[in-house]
Amino acid sequence: MPGTQTLIVRYALFAGLATLANIAAQEASILAYAGANHLTVSILAGTAAGFVVKYILDKFFIFYDTTTDAAREAAKMFLYGATAIITTLIFWGVELGAWAIWHTAFAKYSGAVLGLSIGYVVKYRLDRRYVFGRARAA
């Protein structure tokens, strides 16, 4: 297990990578689709991309989870998703709030980065306690 400082740096780096995946997927979505609800589609695409990247990195390189049992892994992914709902609401609220105030791409993406940053701090604490903490105890 790495020390606290190493863990913080690693978690921040992984949050940054997941944020980049999120923003890249949003931008790709906007470039590919300009129809009705394009903003909603881009946010959903970004959220899905960030979720996958973050789960894999957290599982293996933050919490060192070695669960291989399919049922336990499914339960863990469900809990991870449940904590993600809470933090996604934070992220969306900040991103959409920035968009509603300024109506610019810069504001939207700045809001996304700020919302994701806040959300990731909250998510780490929830995952440590409720998702991966239970795996160690089980």
Predicted confidence (pLDDT) at residue 137 exceeds the cutoff of 80:
no
Count of structural domains, the chain = 1
Q: Per the domain annotation, does 94 fall within a domain?
A: yes
- Who's near 5: CB < 8 A, 6+ residues apart? none
92 in any annotated domain: yes
Higher pLDDT, 134 or 114: 114
- Taking the model in full, what pTM does it have? 0.75
Does residue 138 sit within a domain? no
CA 115 vs. chain centroid, Å, equals 10
Tens-place pLDDT, residues 22-72: 999 999 999 999 899 999 999 999 989 998 999 999 999 999 999 889 999
Range of the domain at 100: 4-133
